[in-house]
Amino acid sequence: MTEKSAKKNSLSDLKLYGAPWYITVIGCIVVIAAAWLGALGTDFASIMVLIIAYGVLFFELGERLPIWNTYIGGGVLAAFFGTAIIRQLSLIPEVYLDPINEFIGGDTVGFTTIWIIILITGSVLSLEKKILLKSFVGYFPAILGGLVAAMAFGALGGLIFGIDPTTVILKYVLPVMGGGNGAGAVPMSEIYEKVTGQSAVSYYAFAIVILTIANIMSIIGGALLNALGDKCPKLTGDKKTLLRNSNFDVADKKEEEPTFSDMCGAIMVIFGSYAVGQLFSGYILPTIFGAPIHEYAYMIVFVVILSATGVIPKNIRAGAKRLQKFVNKAFAVVMMAGLGFDFDLGELVSACTVSNVVIALLIVIGAIVGSALVGQLVGFYPIDSAITAGLCMANRGGNGDVAVLGAAKRMDLMAYAQLSSRLGGGIVLIIASFLFSFWM
């Protein structure tokens, strides 16, 4: 075979997003052209295909770009930053930006919610009972280890710029480690106003700046820790479990593939569990010690109970795992590209003063180091503990978890990431209320 014919065969075999390259490219061109001509609607289907049309090209580029695909985060991170650049350069009609934001995280559609609850249920139900219980028992010490180290590292950064440790902890560390924006920075600013009598708006305006910087660093940190794990396999596991030497997967033990009925049964478990979470969060026990508890946190606890008691049949558990794998693989581009369209690069650049960047970086490093060390002590793989108990505390909540785990290629750990953002964030809110009282 000649070199010319080899190249031809290689091009003919190229697939983008699972289809022959020419089908994907033509499809993307048609969708983007329809958007610019005003022919594309803003309904669920139209917004999804528009996100895919922009995101898949960056995703495939990121998967093939040397250095980027190994050390920076591959296709998912390329889709995120690529669409953020598209937005910044106004290369997408502005009329679609609000519908994309509503599609990804809005109250009406909220595609992120569907994505997360499927990942949570699939990841929890796929674990063997003993591994599951050991993992969750050791997880909260790992979260606290990351929080304490983040305070210590952040205080050190403050000393470099002449900022006292108390200010750094209250106005830098707590917002970063507080569970994101809606479940963290916003209620924390309200607690700040109630306890201190000072403006919630002023507290929030600064908190969201630091949180935004830390969120980007957490995403990049996830990609770098994944690369470290590939270089040093002893520091990480199968990217599905935290507990060392434990890679049990219920789907791997099942002789037959899950049937359509198995996956339908899994859907009932998934959405029923989510309803239980909403019931507790919205009616039965909305707050604990004054801190609001998110429905995801209650949902995780409920699914853990279901899995630990063995009331969910093995075929349904395998169906949940198969559904999780499909959603993760098929819609990772949709999630990451959609999050990119909602990210303002200009806002980030304007907030990047030297002091803010250095202190935020040290907070994130502290979260990594503390959660990794404590994770190692309680029997976890240090990299996986650092990603979930550390970086998923230092990001912007639910969307930040998706971005961090996507960059780290560990979507199977979503349940732990959500524990960090939700229950861990709730713990930080309680701590904040006490610290505001004593130090302000």
> Each residue of 89-101: pLDDT tens digit?
999 999 999 999 8
Convert the pLDDT of each residue in 23-75 to its tens digit.
999 999 999 999 999 999 999 899 999 999 999 989 999 888 887 876 666 78
User: What is the pLDDT confidence band of residue 114, given thresholds at 50, 70 and 90?
Assistant: confident
**pLDDT at residue 190 greater than cutoff 80:** no
Mean pLDDT of 304-320: 89
* The pLDDT value given to residue 85: 92
Contacts of 300 (CB under 8 A, 6+ apart): 120, 124, 277, 415, 418, 419, 422, 423
Nearest partner of 248 among 316, 317, 311, judged by Cα? 317
* Interior angle at CA 428, CA 169 and CA 348, nearest 5: 60
Q: For residues 425 and 187, what is the distance between their CA atoms, to the nearest angstrom?
A: 11
**Interval 375-380 mean pLDDT:** 93
Q: Count the neighbouring beta carbons within 10 Å of the beta carbon of residue 273.
A: 24
Q: How far is residue 183's CA from residue 167's CA, in Å, rounded to a whole number? A: 22
Assign 3-class secondary structure to the chain.
Answer: CCHHHHHHHHHHHCEECCEEHHHHHHHHHHHHHHHHCCCCCCCHHHHHHHHHHHHHHHHHHHHHCCCHHHHHCHHHHHHHHHHHHHHHCCCCCHHHHHHHHHHHHCCCCCHHHHHHHHHHHHHHHCCCHHHHHHHHHHHHHHHHHHHHHHHHHHHHHHHHCCCCHHHHHHHHHHHHCCCCHHHHHHHHHHHHHHHHCCCHHHHHHHHHHHHHHHHHHHHHHHHHHHHHHHHCHHHCCCCCCCECCCCCCHHHHCCCCCCHHHHHHHHHHHHHHHHHHHHHHHHHCCEECCEECCHHHHHHHHHHHHHHHCCCCHHHHHHHHHHHHHHHHHHHHHHHHHHHHCCCHHHHHHHCCHHHHHHHHHHHHHHHHHHHHHHHHCCECHHHHHHHHHHCCCCCHHHHHHHHHHHHCCHHHHHHHHHHHHHHHHHHHHHHHHHHHHHC
pLDDT at 367: 96
Q: What is the pLDDT of residue 3?
A: 47
Check pLDDT > 50 for residue 2.
no
Q: Count the Cβ atoms, other than its own, within 10 Å of residue 169.
A: 22
Q: How far is CA 97 from CA 43, 87, 440, in A?
A: 13, 8, 40
- Place 197 in a pLDDT band, splitting at 50, 70 and 90: confident
What is the Cα Rg of the chain in Å?
A: 22
CB 266 within 8 A of CB 316: yes
With a cut of 50, say whether residue 347 has pLDDT above it. yes
pLDDT band at 183 (very low <50, low <70, confident <90, very high): low
Residue 250 neighbours by CB distance under 10 Å: 20
The mean predicted confidence, pLDDT, of the chain is 84
Predicted pLDDT of residue 109? 58
Predicted local confidence at residue 7, as pLDDT: 46
- 212 has a pLDDT exceeding 70: yes
What mean pLDDT do residues 107-117 have?
Answer: 76
On the question of pLDDT at 76 being above 60, the answer is: yes
Query: Does residue 251 have a pLDDT over 60?
Result: no
**How much of the chain, in percent, has pLDDT values that exceed 70?**
91
Is the pLDDT assigned to residue 253 strictly greater than 60?
no
Determine the average pLDDT of the residues in 130-148. 85
Whether 126 and 321 have beta carbons less than 8 Å apart is answered as yes
Query: How far apart are alpha carbons 175 and 173 in whole angstroms?
Result: 6
254 or 218, greater pLDDT? 218
pLDDT band at 8 (very low <50, low <70, confident <90, very high): very low
Average pLDDT in the 177-189 region?
74
Are the CB atoms for 82 and 262 separated by under 8 Å? no
142/238 Cα distance (integer angstroms): 19
Which of 131, 46, 47, 56 is closest to 97 using CA atoms? Answer: 47
Is residue 202 pLDDT above 90, yes or no?
Answer: no
Whole-angstrom Cα distance, residue 379 to residue 141? 11
**Most confident region among 70-74, 178-182, 270-274, 402-406 by mean pLDDT:** 270-274
Q: What mean pLDDT is predicted for residues 208-236?
A: 90
> Of 185-194, 234-243, 354-363, where does the model show the most confidence?
354-363
Query: The tokens of 213 are what?
Result: 């910087």
Mean pLDDT across the stretch 352-357? Answer: 88
- How far apart CA 211 and CA 157 sit, in angstroms, is 16
* Rounded CA separation 417/301 (Å): 13
Contact 392, 63 (CB under 8 A): no
Q: Which pLDDT value is given to residue 390?
A: 93
Closest CA relative to residue 16, chosen from 47, 52, 69: 52
* Distance (Å, whole) CA 321 – CA 298: 20
- Find the range with the poorest average confidence among 165-169, 204-208, 291-295: 291-295
Output the pLDDT for position 77. Answer: 78
Question: What pLDDT, on the 0 to 100 scale, is given for residue 1?
Answer: 44
pLDDT at 132: 74
pLDDT at 254 over 50: no
* Per-residue confidence (pLDDT) for residue 336, from 0 to 100: 81
Query: Which tokens is 228 given?
Result: 């470290």
Q: How far apart are CA 9 and CA 431, in angstroms?
A: 61
Q: Please give the pLDDT value at position 249.
A: 53
